[in-house]
Amino acid sequence: MFASARLKLTAWYLLIAMLISVAFSVAIYKASTDELERFARVQRFRIERRIQEGFPLPPEVRSRFTTDVALITETKRRLLLALVAINAGIFIIAGTVGYFLAGRTLEPIQDMVDEQHRFISDASHELRTPLTALKSSLEVHLRDKNFTLKQAKTLIAESIEDVNKLHLLSDNLLQLAQYQKASGQLSLEKVSLSTIMREAVQKVTPLAKQKNITIKNTAKDMLISGDMYALTNAFITLLDNAVKYSDNKKTVSLSSKKTLANAEIFISDQGIGISRKDMSRIFDRFYRADSARSKSVSGGYGLGLSIAKKIIEAHAGSISVESKLHKGTTFTVRLPLFS
Ligand code: ADP
């Protein structure tokens, strides 16, 4: 598809370049031949006047005139040839440059289309697995002749749980698609970091309580330009992960630092940590480290961090991670200060 689009675009570039080049060539040819013909006319006029006035015309003047006319015809022919050669050269150069430029023009569009295809195939794959499991479980029980009311109730409860998970997955996919569309979609306003942190901590507190985990919030207040709702969601994800991937009775801390242009926020835990191999991939869509899978920590589809990263990047910020396996992890978020 892109190969033919590239050829079409090259043809358009070539057409534009050739139209300009041919138009210039015609103008140059016309101006030059007009000038030559004007010169020949003046010569002829002088000779005719001399003849009319009865002056004898020396043979060398007559032969010079004939030579001049032949020279003019030859010059016109050579000019035409030179212009054709120049246009042929321009055709080859414009074709090559046009093909290269068409490739460069289409590259971001191709990347975007590839990314969309990957997104759709990842999403369908993730949706297919739980749906197939749900379908087979329902079918098996439907065929069971000794299926009791109590068993039916259990099955319905389990199915609702699965449907809830699918609901969460589709919500996450929608969020990811929404934040993928860059910063234009966010409503940026002056927001206080401590309000965002307070809300995020509040949301995660019930889970932390279940695990007897203390959340220590020493983040200073700073003003940033951001979308309150989106940023709160990003920090909920980071805090939720810190709690999820920590053993009971540990501490999760939230702190901050002001640099010249940025607010730096640190979310640290004393949890399972992230191996070097996983570190570069945890922000990828649907990526879950083996340690997270094997511990079967509930919930996640490996979308939280990629959504958080998209949100932070849409605010012209950045996110990085440092971790030691079995010791703990620190995520650092940098966001531009309000100015
Ligand atoms: P999930 O829904 O699996 O938590 P995320 O995108 O939020 O998805 O995280 C991706 C993976 O990164 C997790 O599966 C986990 O392996 C790893 N991870 C994220 N945060 C932490 C953390 N604080 N400590 C250890 N591992 C983490």
Residue 217 β-bridge partners = 254
What pLDDT does residue 185 have?
67
What pLDDT does residue 289 have?
85
Ligand 1 closest atom vs CA 237: 7
Residue among 172, 176, 245, 253 whose CB has most ligand 1 atoms within 8 A, to mutate: 245
Q: In this structure, which residue's CA is closest to atom 21 in ligand 1?
A: 241
Q: In this structure, which residue's CA is closest to atom 7 in ligand 1?
A: 304
Dist. CA 241 → ligand 1 center (Å):
6
If you average pLDDT over residues 165-181, what whole number do you get?
Answer: 85
First vs last C-alpha separation in the chain? 46
If you average pLDDT over residues 123-128, what whole number do you get?
Answer: 88
Ligand 1 binding pocket includes 274 (Cβ within 6 Å): yes
What pLDDT does residue 9 have?
94
Calpha distance 282→33 (Å, rounded): 71
The confidence band for 60, taking pLDDT boundaries of 50, 70 and 90, is confident
Residue among 126, 274, 329 whose CB has most ligand 1 atoms within 8 A, to mutate: 274
Ligand 1 closest atom vs CA 305: 6
Calpha distance 133→51 (Å, rounded): 110
Asked whether residue 64 carries a pLDDT value surpassing 80, the answer given is no
If you average pLDDT over residues 221-231, what whole number do you get?
Answer: 93
Least confident segment among 49-58, 111-120, 165-174, 185-194? 49-58
What pLDDT does residue 293 have?
57
What pLDDT does residue 297 have?
58
Residue among 237, 285, 305 whose CB has most ligand 1 atoms within 8 A, to mutate: 305
The confidence band for 71, taking pLDDT boundaries of 50, 70 and 90, is confident
What pLDDT does residue 47 have?
81
Ligand 1 binding pocket includes 239 (Cβ within 6 Å): no
Residue burial 185-201, b: 16+ Cβ < 10 Å; e: rest: ebebeebebeebbebbb
Ligand 1 binding pocket includes 328 (Cβ within 6 Å): no
Calpha distance 17→44 (Å, rounded): 40
Dist. CA 163 → ligand 1 center (Å):
22
Ligand 1 binding pocket includes 126 (Cβ within 6 Å): no
Ligand 1 binding pocket includes 179 (Cβ within 6 Å): no
Percentage with pLDDT > 70 across the chain: 96
Ligand 1 binding pocket includes 233 (Cβ within 6 Å): no
**Largest Cα–Cα distance of the chain, in whole Å?**
134
If you average pLDDT over residues 83-106, what whole number do you get?
Answer: 95
| Per-residue pLDDT reduced to its tens digit, 307-338 | 999 999 999 999 999 999 999 999 999 999 99
Calpha distance 132→334 (Å, rounded): 41
What pLDDT does residue 217 have?
96
Percentage with pLDDT > 90 across the chain: 62
What pLDDT does residue 315 have?
92
Compute the mean pLDDT over every residue in the chain, rounded to the nearest whole number.
90
Dist. CA 39 → ligand 1 center (Å):
85
What pLDDT does residue 298 have?
58
Secondary structure string (H, E, C) spanning the chain: CHHHHHHHHHHHHHHHHHHHHHHHHHHHHHHHHHHHHHHHHHHHHHHHHHHHCCCCCCHHHHHHHHHHHHHHHHHHHHHHHHHHHHHHHHHHHHHHHHHHHHHHHHHHHHHHHHHHHHHHHHHHHHHHHHHHHHHHHHHHHHHCCCCCHHHHHHHHHHHHHHHHHHHHHHHHHHHHHHHHCCHHHCCCEEEEHHHHHHHHHHHHHHHHHHCCCEEEECCCCCEEEECHHHHHHHHHHHHHHHHHCCCCCCEEEEEEEECCCEEEEEEEECCCCCCHHHHCCCCCCCCCCHHHHHCCCCCCCCCHHHHHHHHHHHCCCEEEEEEECCCEEEEEEEEEECC
| Per-residue pLDDT reduced to its tens digit, 269-320 | 999 999 999 999 999 988 988 766 555 555 578 899 999 999 999 999 999 9
